[in-house]
Amino acid sequence: MKGEGGVINVSGMRRNRRNMDVFAPGDVVVREGEAEGRLYIIITGGVAIYKNYQKTDEVFLAERGTGEFFGEQSLFLGAAQPATVVAMEESLTVSLTRDDIFEFFRMESEATFALIADLCRRTEEKEPPPGAAAGPNRRLEAPGLFPAGHGHYRLPAPEGEAPAGIVFTAKEKCPVCGVTFEATGLRESRLTRSRTDPDMRDHYKGVEPMWYDVVTCPQCWYSALRDAFDTAEPADPHSLMAELGALQRELKLEFDNRKDAAEVFAGYYLALRAAPRCFVQAETQTARLWVRLSRLYEDCGDQTMAEYANRQALAAYEDVYLRVSLNPRALQRIQFFLGDLYFKTGDFRSARDMLFKAKIAREGTEFVRRYAEERIDLMREMDKQEKEPQGKAQQGKKP
């Protein structure tokens, strides 16, 4: 009998308090490889199941909610736990050992039937293959770092084959804590551009430079864009280190240059945290970080978070435009980025005004001028297509 939210009607089950456990959000219920020998039934709450949990090749497999169960292979086959199970919210479970299961079969006939039926169903509809499903939102692991809505992602593999020797390792000295460490980077001279998007984002064969744009100190977690990392001048480094230390205790992550999604996104958000404390012109650093984050979210297929990042980037670039003294070429680029962001956030009038300024900038570059003109032409074409159906509708009306 299928219960509410799951396969087993847990409201009618007899419960042995000796086998009941409560797990807080983020608690590991069982770990991959453990010889548990237990079947878990979820009375309330929900869990997520992972292979290689908290490793660079971590894969989300499935979710289980109220009335569902996990650990069947460990109990019935005597196998080690095939995956790690993590509580997504406060969860109450009942666990059954081999000695308990016979009493369960005898006393809970309906629940037993539901359990066997679901086991048969799982044999036919196997768990999704690695990478086939997006993971659940795990922002509870670092609510102080990631914004609401930030989920668990996998970075898509870049197209093509990366040139040999494009990744290098260099020593960096942290300007906040003074530690020297090794960080990976890209040899820009070996990058091969494959295409450029209308927003002037370049794509390269076999590699995504945005994964390497932020450098993070593994000791104190100070982070910044690579071209500004060693220029930081923190007014109060001890306060910054204390703040980052609190995030270290909250976020279970190691910065080991493997460039998985968790490390890449965390680096950007740590850089956003550090920018106002470390740079005189923090607005410029903040704007550049948010633009890259919007593109990373787009790559991961999260359009909602990409739009959120675009709005943050727009606000930051507006601050740059109003407060920072810029040379003519830098000003033209800012005008283009503002126009592009107004376009992406639906403010077409402001987009036209700013793109036109970038187009007519006398001391700007022809490269930016051409992209501004293409954006303006695209908006004209959109206006034309929008007006055509209206004109046809008017023609179709009888006098």
Per-residue pLDDT tens for 311-356? Answer: 999 999 999 999 999 999 999 999 999 999 999 999 999 999 999 9
Q: Which residues pair with 92 in a beta bridge?
A: 22, 44
Q: Residue 352 CB: number of other CB atoms within 10 A?
A: 18
Mean pLDDT value across the chain: 84
Name the least confident of 4-8, 45-49, 264-268: 4-8
Q: Each residue of 149-192: pLDDT tens digit?
A: 888 788 888 888 878 889 999 999 999 999 999 999 999 889 99
Cβ-count burial 172-203 (b if 16+ within 10 Å, e if not):
bebbbbeeebebebbeeeebeeeeeeebeeee
Q: What angle do CA 203, 188, 271 make, to 5 degrees?
A: 80
What pLDDT does 225 receive?
Answer: 97
Cβ-proximal residues to 349 (8 Å cutoff; 6+ apart), any chain: none
Domain count, the chain: 2
Per-residue pLDDT for 398 more than 60? no
Residues 116 and 175 in one domain: no
What pLDDT does 134 receive?
Answer: 44
Residues 96 and 213 in one domain: no
Residues 218 and 329 in one domain: yes
Residues 118 and 174 in one domain: no
Q: Is residue 146 part of a domain?
A: no
Per-residue pLDDT for 289 more than 90? yes
Please say whether the dihedral angle defined by the alpha carbons of residues 336, 341, 344 and 345, taken in this order, is positive or negative. Answer: negative
Q: Is residue 147 part of a domain?
A: no
Per-residue pLDDT for 35 more than 60? yes
Per-residue pLDDT for 51 more than 70? yes
What pLDDT does 2 receive?
Answer: 35
Per-residue pLDDT for 120 more than 50? yes
Percent of the chain residues past pLDDT 70, beyond the cut: 86
Contact assessment for residue 222 and residue 274, using Cβ atoms and an 8 Å cutoff = yes
Return the top range by mean pLDDT from 35-49, 120-134, 243-257: 35-49
Cβ-proximal residues to 367 (8 Å cutoff; 6+ apart), any chain: none
Q: Is residue 251 part of a domain?
A: yes
Residue after which a domain boundary falls, among 59, 92, 124? 124
Q: Residue 141: pLDDT band by 50, 70, 90 thresholds?
A: very low
What pLDDT does 114 receive?
Answer: 77
Whole-angstrom distance, CA of residue 357 vs CA of residue 339? 9
Q: Residue 89: pLDDT band by 50, 70, 90 thresholds?
A: confident
Residue after which a domain boundary falls, among 60, 89, 124? 124
Whole-angstrom distance, CA of residue 170 vs CA of residue 244? 24
Name the least confident of 88-97, 104-113, 227-236: 104-113
Per-residue pLDDT for 223 more than 90? yes
pTM for this prediction: 0.65
- Across the range 269-290, mean pLDDT stands at 94
Name the least confident of 101-105, 205-209, 321-325: 101-105
Name the least confident of 219-228, 233-242, 343-352: 233-242
Q: Is residue 261 part of a domain?
A: yes
Q: Residue 390: pLDDT band by 50, 70, 90 thresholds?
A: low
- Across the range 10-22, mean pLDDT stands at 68
Whole-angstrom distance, CA of residue 67 vs CA of residue 2? 8
Percent of the chain residues past pLDDT 90, beyond the cut: 48
Q: Is residue 293 part of a domain?
A: yes
Residues 204 and 348 in one domain: yes
Contact assessment for residue 105 and residue 34, using Cβ atoms and an 8 Å cutoff = no
Q: Is residue 204 part of a domain?
A: yes
Residues 206 and 330 in one domain: yes
Whole-angstrom distance, CA of residue 32 vs CA of residue 36? 10
Residues 79 and 188 in one domain: no
Residues 342 and 207 in one domain: yes
Contact assessment for residue 287 and residue 320, using Cβ atoms and an 8 Å cutoff = yes
Per-residue pLDDT for 375 more than 50? yes
Residues 107 and 179 in one domain: no
Residues 188 and 279 in one domain: yes
Residues 181 and 110 in one domain: no
DSSP class of 257: S
Q: Residue 10: pLDDT band by 50, 70, 90 thresholds?
A: low
Long-range contacts of 61-66 (CB under 8 A, 24+ apart): 61/127, 61/128, 61/133, 62/127, 62/128, 62/133, 63/88, 63/136, 64/6, 65/5, 65/6, 66/3, 66/4, 66/5, 66/6, 66/10, 66/42
What pLDDT does 307 receive?
Answer: 96
CATH number reported for the structural domain that contains residue 376 in this entry: 1.25.40
Q: Is residue 138 part of a domain?
A: no
Q: Is residue 378 part of a domain?
A: yes
What pLDDT does 77 receive?
Answer: 83
Residue after which a domain boundary falls, among 71, 89, 124? 124
What pLDDT does 311 receive?
Answer: 96
Name the least confident of 58-62, 188-192, 199-203: 58-62
Parent domain of 331: 169-393
